[in-house]
Amino acid sequence: MRPLGQLIDLYLDDLASEADCLELGRRLRDDPAAAELFARMTRAEAMLGELLREQAVPLLQPGTDIGLAPGRQLPRRGGVRQRSLLAAGLLLLLLSSLALWLPIGLAGGSEVVAGQVLVNGAARRWIPQGARVEVADGDAAIIRLPGGSRLELAPRSQLVWHGSGGADRPRLSLVRGGGCFSVGPQSPPLLIDTPIGSVAAHDSDVAVELWSPPEHEGGPTMNPQTTLAIAVAVLLGQVEVQHQGQRYLLGFGQSHVFAADDDKPAKKSLRFGTVAEVAADGKSFVLERQPAKPGTEPTRWPIRLTDQTRVVYRGVAKGAERPTVGSRAAVRLVDGSEDEAAAVEFGSPEPDFAGRITAMADDGKELTLETFRKDQPPETRTVRLTDATRIRLFDDPKAEARPAVGDGARIWLAAGSKDAAIDVELVRKGRVGSKDPAFKNKGKPDNSGKKPAEGDKKPHDSPKKPAHAPDKKPADGAQKPAPTPEKKPDGDKKPTVKEKKPAEGVKQPGNKKSTEAAVKKPASGDKKASDGPVPKK
Amino acid sequence: MGDQERFLRLFLRCQGEIRAFIGAWVRDPHQREDIFQEVALVLWREFDRYDPTRSFAAWARGIAAKKVWQRWEQARRVPLPFDPETLRAVQEAFERTEGDAELRADALRRCLASLPEKSRRLLALRYEESLKLADIAQRLRSSLDAVHKALSRLRARLQACVERRLAALERLSRGTP
């Protein structure tokens, strides 16, 4: 008869035969102590993933020697074991007593894991509750919050860390810049306040970025008058956004821009619509927005592109990166100008589907994605890369990029094709140090292509599943948790949130109504999530 | 406190337990997640039937056990991996061992941090990336058996470390050296 521990080990490693399972079942049933051991081991196993993520273990590279080569044994420590037993025991006691005190001393505090962070003007490793935090210029910073959530903040970002509030919900106010916020399933929901809305995340990874006019980026305040919009992109899971008194659910792969009120001065420099005319030299175009009420004239804005204008194309094939009549566009004007664009984004903001890359063909011409559809098992899709396929990083569209297993990918297909991609946008964690240049300030140094924060090796790329509605209702005033737990990332449906049964009072930015709330009076006929606000990711 | 807030508090507190219980029976991470979602949905829908004098986690595990069983039956696996009595026995074992789960989690966190980086990397492949052993072996250019043995040793080592820490805490709390 196999020892119980060996049987459980086989089972945990998916190596147990049917006979092993029968034997294990019998012993679990007949021996309460065996069942308890099994319960403890499976409980520990369930925790390991989250704990490892907390502790940010770099991934192994192929062929790394970790002492597993056949015939090799893990190092034995018998020699020193006897001698160090006493010392280890004393150390253990010391650690254990420290363990009793540490949680008290650091309650509500956060640790800077990488990068340089100034707390109230001085470089610090620990961030106390209530501190004003600024990421030093140059590199991104990684901060670990109590409870295991992780922030990767772009250089020069600023926030106020409020710590864990009364309901044990960590909360921070993002004042400038942005970053990626990873909140694990075991971590408490994180509330991210911004000047014009709040984002609640749990069991999800979300990128949040504030857009401010250039003159305000140097001296930020938590002032909605100086913030144009917040861009929210869900990399994993699902988040809830509160904006102008409404609640929105954003699912895996979705991005959305929540703009300031129309009556706020900042909002006046944003334009959304469809390209109606393009000048022969391509340096200017007319942006048209359909009226909200039928029978009235569309609004038309002449827009000038200059050498300083940041331009981004999404869902556009290689070589077709130019303004074309009929394509959607989002424009941010130079402050004070009525027609000069500081940034423009052309194309279709929402992909045909999204997923995680699980395999690459040897010739690099094909990639396999695992996509997710509600109530169905994960689906595997193969995407062909052709000469016309553009491949770019989500936060650095101009950089050359090569897909890799583990990357998140948003796929735009060629018209009429089911597998040929024209545009592939890679979401690679640990790149918040670089930014999407589309809506960055002109004249400022481009951070794109900067060294990733602690590299792409972070294990957060694991194909984690998205959020679940019942544990996803942290917003104050929520009327009822969304009763339908969000299943899996709906990678291959455009308005993914449409599948969800929203909680009462929860709007989904994918529908027209919510789009109107997010950006007042969008072009009529806009029905898709992507049609409304700025297609920023 | 409204129903919603009460539910959230209870659910957030024990969702790790629910995941662990489901994970004990369903080894595929995607299926595991599916079942977790289904359980979460049932918990919310049936929350008005929840008896607050009982353990929420125990109630949730009962629902999870039913969902796991349904999934096995739907998959028409013959023979079924385990029988209902086994599920019930482990369900009860989870309840009996729930009391020190938080302490154990904290100890595990510290024990994990004390492992050599290479060991933690191996665990990350298995438990964070959810790779199968064959994939890990391929990635590390090692054999499946070697990976299994290393993982088994690591689990045993972590388990022993957790027990030692708990014993030390116990001694501390009793004021004995």
- Rounded to whole angstroms, the Cα distance separating A431 from A449 reads 9
A261 and A170 assigned to the same domain: yes
What range does the domain containing A309 cover?
271-347
- Please answer yes or no on whether B41 and A38 come within 8 Å at the CB atom: no
In a domain, A40, yes or no: yes
Which residues in chain B are contacts of A238 at CB distance < 8 A?
A: none
Owner of token pair 């006979």: A19
In a domain, A70, yes or no: no
What domains lie within chain B, and their CATH numbers? 3-96 (1.10.1740), 101-174 (1.10.10.10)
User: Looking at residue A174, which CATH number applies to its domain?
Assistant: 2.60.120.1440
Interface of A with B in 444-483 (CB under 8 A): 459, 461-463, 465, 468-471, 473-474, 478-481, 483
A189 and A209 assigned to the same domain: yes
Q: Is residue A339 a contact partner of residue A483, using CB atoms and an 8 Å limit?
A: no
A281 and A339 assigned to the same domain: yes
In a domain, A438, yes or no: no
A195 and A275 assigned to the same domain: no
- Please answer yes or no on whether B44 and A54 come within 8 Å at the CB atom: no
In a domain, A416, yes or no: no
Which residue, of A347, A371, A396, is where some domain finishes? A347
In a domain, A145, yes or no: yes
Q: Is B34 on the interface with A (CB under 8 A)?
A: yes
Taking residue A78's Cβ as centre, other Cβ atoms within 10 Å add up to 6
Per-residue pLDDT of chain A (537 residues; tens, 9 = 90+): 778 999 999 999 999 988 888 899 999 999 999 999 999 999 999 988 878 876 654 433 334 333 443 322 222 333 323 333 333 333 333 333 333 323 322 334 677 877 788 887 777 777 877 778 888 876 778 888 877 788 888 878 888 888 765 555 788 888 888 888 888 777 778 889 888 788 998 877 788 888 765 444 444 344 445 566 788 877 677 788 888 777 787 776 667 777 776 455 445 567 778 899 999 888 899 998 877 666 778 888 999 999 888 888 888 888 888 888 888 888 888 877 888 888 888 887 667 777 778 888 888 889 988 775 544 566 788 999 998 898 887 666 666 678 887 777 888 888 888 889 998 887 655 443 333 333 333 333 333 333 333 333 333 333 333 333 333 333 333 333 333 333 333 333 333 333 333 344 444 444 333 333 333 333 333 333 333 333 333
Which residues in chain B are contacts of A66 at CB distance < 8 A?
A: 118-119, 121-122, 140, 150
**How many domains does chain A contain in total?**
3
3-class secondary-structure state, position A256: strand
A115 and A165 assigned to the same domain: yes
